[in-house]
C-alpha cells in the first residue's frame, strides 16, 4: 500500500498546448532530454525530416509531413515520474487534442514571445478552463526579438481571462537578450546561446543578483540594469501576489520566460513546474469523487486510435488511470460493456518506441489493444463497487460536410466504416432533423479529418464517398429537454439536425445567428459542448 501511495505521489501528468510553431515540439524534446528519455535533441520529431516518427501510421501523414495523432511520453526526473501528453500540433488538429486535455492534471501553454496569444491557444485554453486545471505559461523564443513582456502578460490576462504571475523576468530580447531574473531566488540566469547538449547536462551561468549593487550593470549593461530595477520594483509593488490556491485552480498562471531552442530556462522551469503542479487528484464519478490512492484500479478511455501500426491494422484504446495500480494480465470490469475483460498488450509510448509494460499507476496513461469494444469516455474498474467516470464532452465541430456514398450497393460497409470511425471519435455524425439515414452530415474539429475519413473508408472499408462542403461553422447542443423543434424560430441560415442518439442540435453559419436565435426564443439554452 505504502508503495502505491509513494508511486502515485510521484506522478505528474500534463499536456503541452500551443499554437503551431510556438515551440511545443522543441520544448518537449528538451524536457525529455533532462529525463534521459531520449539521447539526442531532434529525435522526438525533427520538423522536416521525421516529423511523423511517433505516429507513423498513415499515408496521409507522410504525404503531408505532419503529425495527425498524439502520443504519451513518460520519463523520470528528480524523483518524479512525468507523463507528457503530446497533442497534434498542426493547424488541422482534431478532437483528440481536446480530449487529451481531459486526461491531463495540468497544462503548459507555450507562447511565442513575438506573437503572443494565437487562435489555437485560445481554443485549447477554453478546454483547460472547463476543468479548472493549473496552467503554466512558457513564453518562448526570447533569443529573438520579442514583444514587451508587459504587453504579453496583459494579452494573456485580457484574452484568456486568467491572472499571471511572472516567476522570472526577461532582460532584453533577441540580440540584446541577457537572460532572466528569478524573482524568488533573486538571481540572474545569464543567457549564453548553446545549441547542443551533452547527455542532458547543461550549465547555465547563474549570477547572484543584488539589485542594489550597481556593479551588476557591468554584467548586463547600464540600460538593462536600470530597466530591470524599475521592472522588478513595479512587479513587486503592483503585480498579483503569488497564490498557490489560485494556481491549483487555474486562476493564476505562473509565467516563465525562456528559449526552448537554446535550452535556456528549460530546466529551472521544469523544477518549478514539478514543485507547483499537483500529483493526480480525485476524479468525479457517478458515486462521488474517486480517490487516486484507493487500491482498486480504475481508468477511463480518452482516445482510440486505429492503424497505429500499419502492418497490424490494430486499434489502441488509450486510458488514463485514475486510481490504484494496474498489473499486466489483470482482470478488469468494462462498465459500459457490462463485462469482465483482460486488457491485452498493455503498452506505454516512450518517444518512438512502444513498450509492453507490467504495471502502471494512477496518473499514468496506458494503451491497450482494442478489439472494437471501447468507446471514448468508457470506464474500466476493479473491486466490488462499479461506477462510471463523468465522461468526456463532445467538442463542437467547426466544419461540416454532407456525405454521399458513390456506390450505393456497399451500404453495409459504408455504415460499418462510418460508425467505427465515429466511435473512435475522429468524426461526428449527424442526420437531417426530418429525413432518415440517407442524409448524413459529418462534423469535424479540423478539416484534415475529412481527408482522413475519405482515405480510410476507401482503404479499410473499400467504400468511395463524395463530400460536399456545408457553410456552417457553429454547432450548438440544445440543453432544454422539452424543446419543440418545429416551433423554434431561428435565422434563415439555421439548420436543425440531430445526432445518432436523437438529440436535437442547431447549425449556424455565423455567431451572429446564434445570438439572434437565442434572442428570438426565450428560455432557449444552447451549449458548445455535448454530453456523451
Ligand atoms: P511546434 O511544435 O509548436 O509547432 O513548434 P516547433 O517546436 O516545431 O518550433 C517551431 C519553430 O520554432 C522551429 O523552427 C523551431 O526550431 C523554432 N523554435 C522553437 N523554439 C525556439 C526558440 O526558443 N528560439 C528560436 N529562435 N526558435 C525556436 P523551424 O525553422 O520551423 O524548424 P527547423 O527547421 O528549425 O526544425
Query: On the CB side of 278, how many CA atoms lie within 13 Å of its CA?
Result: 19
Report strand pairing: 163-166 vs 168-171: unpaired
Angle at 224 between CA 221 and CA 230, to 5 degrees: 140
> Which three cell numbers, joined as nine digits, stand for 512?
451572429
| Nearest protein CA to atom 19 of ligand 1, as residue | 23
Query: Are 142 and 257 contacting, i.e. CB atoms less than 8 angstroms apart?
Result: yes
What is the number of the ligand 1 atom nearest to the C-alpha of 28?
A: 7
Binding site members: 18-25, 86-90, 140-143
Structure confidence at residue 484 (pLDDT): 81
Structure confidence at residue 307 (pLDDT): 63
What is the number of the ligand 1 atom nearest to the C-alpha of 264?
A: 23
Structure confidence at residue 190 (pLDDT): 84
Structure confidence at residue 239 (pLDDT): 85
Structure confidence at residue 201 (pLDDT): 44
Query: On the CB side of 60, how many CA atoms lie within 13 Å of its CA?
Result: 16
Ligand 1 neighbours by CB, cut-off 6 Å: 18, 20-26, 47-48, 89, 140-141, 143-144, 259-261
Spatial CA neighbour of 341 closest among 308, 316, 314, 369: 369
DSSP secondary structure of 249-271: TTSEEEEEE-BTTTTBSHHHHHH
Structure confidence at residue 212 (pLDDT): 79
What is the number of the ligand 1 atom nearest to the C-alpha of 89?
A: 4
Beta strands in 328-459 (DSSP E): 331-334, 339-342, 347-350, 353-356, 359-361, 365-369, 379-381, 394-395, 399-405, 428-432, 440-444
DSSP 240: P
What span, in angstroms and rounded, lies between the C-alpha atoms of 342 and 328? 9
Q: What's the average pLDDT block by block, 10 residues per block, for the chain (532 residues)? A: 86 91 89 66 39 39 42 84 76 71 94 93 83 95 96 95 96 91 89 50 60 81 91 91 94 96 91 95 94 95 74 74 91 94 66 64 88 89 92 85 90 89 86 74 88 89 94 92 83 89 90 94 87 62
Rounded distance from Cα 46 to ligand 1 centre (Å):
10
What span, in angstroms and rounded, lies between the C-alpha atoms of 187 and 369? 50
Structure confidence at residue 342 (pLDDT): 85
Amino acid at each position: 500500500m505504502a508503495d502505491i501511495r509513494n508511486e502515485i505521489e510521484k506522478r505528474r501528468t500534463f499536456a503541452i498546448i500551443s499554437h503551431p510553431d510556438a515551440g511545443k515540439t522543441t520544448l518537449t524534446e528538451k524536457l525529455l532530454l533532462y529525463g534521459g528519455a531520449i539521447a539526442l535533441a531532434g529525435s522526438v520529431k525533427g520538423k522536416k525530416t521525421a516529423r511523423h516518427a511517433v505516429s507513423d501510421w498513415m499515408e496521409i501523414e507522410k504525404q503531408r509531413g505532419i503529425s495527425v495523432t498524439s502520443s504519451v511520453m513518460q520519463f523520470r526526473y528528480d524523483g518524479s515520474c512525468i507523463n507528457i501528453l503530446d497533442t497534434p500540433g498542426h493547424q488541422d488538429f482534431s478532437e483528440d487534442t481536446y480530449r487529451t486535455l481531459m486526461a491531463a492534471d495540468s497544462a503548459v501553454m507555450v507562447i511565442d514571445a513575438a506573437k503572443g496569444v494565437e487562435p489555437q491557444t485560445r481554443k485549447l485554453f477554453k478546454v483547460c478552463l472547463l476543468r479548472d486545471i493549473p496552467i503554466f505559461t512558457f513564453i518562448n523564443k526570447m533569443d529573438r526579438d520579442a514583444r514587451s513582456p508587459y504587453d504579453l502578460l496583459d494579452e494573456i490576462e485580457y484574452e484568456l481571462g486568467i491572472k499571471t504571475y511572472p516567476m522570472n523576468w526577461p532582460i532584453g530580447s533577441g540580440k540584446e537578450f541577457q537572460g532572466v531574473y528569478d524573482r524568488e531566488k533573486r538571481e540572474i540566469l545569464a543567457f549564453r546561446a548553446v545549441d547542443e547538449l551533452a547527455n542532458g547536462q547543461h550549465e547555465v551561468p547563474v549570477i547572484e543578483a543584488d539589485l542594489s549593487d550597481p556593479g551588476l550593470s557591468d554584467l548586463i549593461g547600464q540600460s538593462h540594469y536600470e530597466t530591470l530595477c524599475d521592472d522588478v520594483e513595479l512587479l513587486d509593488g503592483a503585480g498579483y501576489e503569488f497564490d498557490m490556491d489560485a494556481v491549483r485552480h487555474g486562476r493564476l498562471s505562473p509565467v516563465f520566460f525562456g528559449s526552448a531552442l537554446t535550452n535556456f530556462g528549460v530546466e529551472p522551469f521544469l523544477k518549478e513546474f514539478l514543485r507547483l503542479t499537483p500529483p493526480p487528484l480525485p476524479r468525479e464519478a457517478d458515486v462521488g469523487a474517486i480517490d487516486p490512492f484507493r487500491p482498486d484500479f480504475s481508468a477511463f478511455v480518452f482516445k482510440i486510435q486505429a492503424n497505429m501500426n500499419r502492418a497490424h491494422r490494430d486499434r489502441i484504446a488509450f486510458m488514463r488511470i485514475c486510481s490504484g495500480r494496474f498489473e499486466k494480465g489483470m482482470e478488469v470490469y468494462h462498465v459500459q460493456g457490462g463485462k469482465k475483460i483482460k486488457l491485452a498488450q498493455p503498452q506505454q509510448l516512450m518517444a518512438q518506441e512502444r513498450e509492453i509494460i507490467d504495471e502502471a499507476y494512477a496518473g499514468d496513461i496506458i494503451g491497450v489493444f482494442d478489439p472494437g469494444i471501447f468507446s471514448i469516455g468508457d470506464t474500466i474498474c476493479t473491486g466490488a463497487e462499479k461506477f462510471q467516470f463523468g465522461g468526456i464532452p463532445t467538442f463542437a465541430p467547426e466544419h461540416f460536410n454532407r456525405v454521399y456514398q458513390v456506390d450505393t450497393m456497399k451500404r453495409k460497409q459504408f455504415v460499418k466504416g462510418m460508425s467505427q470511425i465515429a466511435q473512435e471519435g475522429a468524426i461526428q455524425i449527424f442526420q437531417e432533423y426530418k429525413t432518415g439515414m440517407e442524409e448524413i452530415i459529418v462534423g469535424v474539429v479540423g478539416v484534415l479529418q475529412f481527408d482522413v475519413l475519405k482515405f480510410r473508408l476507401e482503404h479499410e472499408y473499400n467504400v468511395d464517398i463524395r463530400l460536399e462542403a456545408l457553410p456552417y461553422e457553429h454547432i450548438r447542443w440544445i440543453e432544454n429537454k422539452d424543446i419543440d423543434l418545429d416551433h423554434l424560430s431561428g435565422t434563415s441560415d439555421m439548420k436543425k439536425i440531430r445526432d445518432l442518439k436523437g438529440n436535437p442540435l442547431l447549425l449556424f453559419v455565423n455567431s451572429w445567428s446564434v445570438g439572434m436565435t437565442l434572442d428570438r426564443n426565450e428560455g432557449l439554452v444552447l451549449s458548445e459542448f455535448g454530453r456523451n
